[in-house]
Amino acid sequence: AHIYERVNQVALLHYGVAIGFYQGDNLKLMDDLA
């Protein structure tokens, strides 16, 4: 399943989509969105 996630990320980045990763801390949520 991990490889499918990576393939999707690369494909989306190719089309200029921004991808964010949640750090697990709600106080840093705005940093995750930036």
Q: Report pLDDT for 21.
A: 80
Q: Report pLDDT for 16.
A: 93
Sign of CA dihedral 2, 10, 8, 24: positive
pLDDT band of residue 9 (cuts 50, 70, 90) is very high
Q: How many CB atoms lie under 10 A from the CB of residue 29?
A: 13
Phi, psi of 23, rounded to the nearest 5 degrees:
-85, -10
Could you tell me the residue ranges of all domains in the chain?
A: 2-33
pLDDT greater than 90 at residue 13: yes
pLDDT greater than 80 at residue 19: yes
